[in-house]
Amino acid sequence: MASSGGGSSVHLSGELFKALTDMIGGQVQVLFDDLPSSVGHIQGGRLRALAVTSGQREPSLPQLPGVGETVPGYEATAWLGIGMPSGTRSTPR
C-alpha cells in the first residue's frame, strides 16, 4: 500500500482497510473502524458489531447501541471530505 506519508490520514485509512481484512479473516479480535467500510460486512453477517461511537444510534443500524449509552459522555466521531478547485470536471477513462 502506498500513501502520502506515515501517520497521515490517508496512511491511517489504508491501515484501517488492512485491519478490516484481518478482522474478517479472524486474525484480530477487536476493531474500531469507520462505518462506511464496515456496514456492508455487518449487514452481511461477516462482522458482529457491538456499538457505534457516535453520540446517537446510527439510523442504518438502529439495533446497535451507542457506547455513550453505557459510558455516559463517550463520543468519538470523524469526518472526512474531498476538496478540489471549482470548475474541476470528471474525465471518463
C-alpha 50/C-alpha 90 separation (Å) is 39
pLDDT score, position 63: 94
Question: Is-above-0.85 flag for pTM?
Answer: no
What's the average model confidence in pLDDT over 22-35?
A: 86
Map out the domains of the chain with their CATH numbers.
Answer: 9-69 (3.40.190.10)
Lowest mean pLDDT, pick from 10-14, 36-40, 62-66, 69-73: 10-14
pLDDT confidence of 93, banded at 50, 70, 90? low
* Pair 33, 53: CB distance under 8 Å: no
Quick one: average pLDDT of 63-72? 92
pLDDT band of residue 64 (cuts 50, 70, 90) is: very high
- Angle among Cα 50, 8, 46 to the nearest 5 degrees reads 25
